[in-house]
Copies of this chain bind each other. A is one copy, B any other.
């Protein structure tokens, strides 16, 4: 039952193929057989190593946003820093794939949605909303704008948003996020 060093290579290949397929096709369309074929291995091994398709999915969406510490940046540049960091995650090969998997799945799968809420609470809200009373609300407004761009740019591929380069996008979105973090709310 315990994993040995010899099998690590296969496990990693399966996990990489799973992330690629889950990201490209979503949870339901991504089949165990296709993932196994991409990894050059038998479908039954996937089940043997990860228990079930759901277990494989859980292993594939282990995400760490590595958010910067708000105390470490000037207060008036928090918006810019957060937007740039977030877009950097999505543009990156590895983390962007994991985030695509998570968002795609969270939209149609309640378990994945729960995981998304957990990521928000333990990472986003924790980083932005520890101090003030309305912190969680501010963090959620930030999330709504950032997830919205991610949705339009990387999932729906809305042409005008895809056409913008990252720095322009940062410049356009930073004031919004800055206001959600700092300015008084209604």
Binding site for B on A (CB under 8 A): 25-26, 28-29, 103-104, 106-108, 113, 116-117, 120, 125, 136-137, 139-141, 143-149, 151-153, 155-161, 163-164, 168, 171-173, 175-176, 179-180, 185-186
Q: Which 4 A-B pairs have the closest CB atoms?
A: A148-B148, A171-B186, A26-B108, A140-B160
Contact B116 A156 (CB under 8 A): yes
This chain: how many copies in the complex?
2
Task: Jot down 23 A-B pairs with beta carbons below 8 A, ordered by A.
Answer: A26-B108, A28-B29, A29-B108, A103-B107, A107-B107, A107-B108, A107-B155, A113-B155, A116-B156, A117-B156, A120-B158, A136-B159, A137-B161, A140-B161, A141-B172, A141-B173, A144-B152, A144-B153, A147-B156, A148-B148, A171-B185, A172-B180, A172-B186
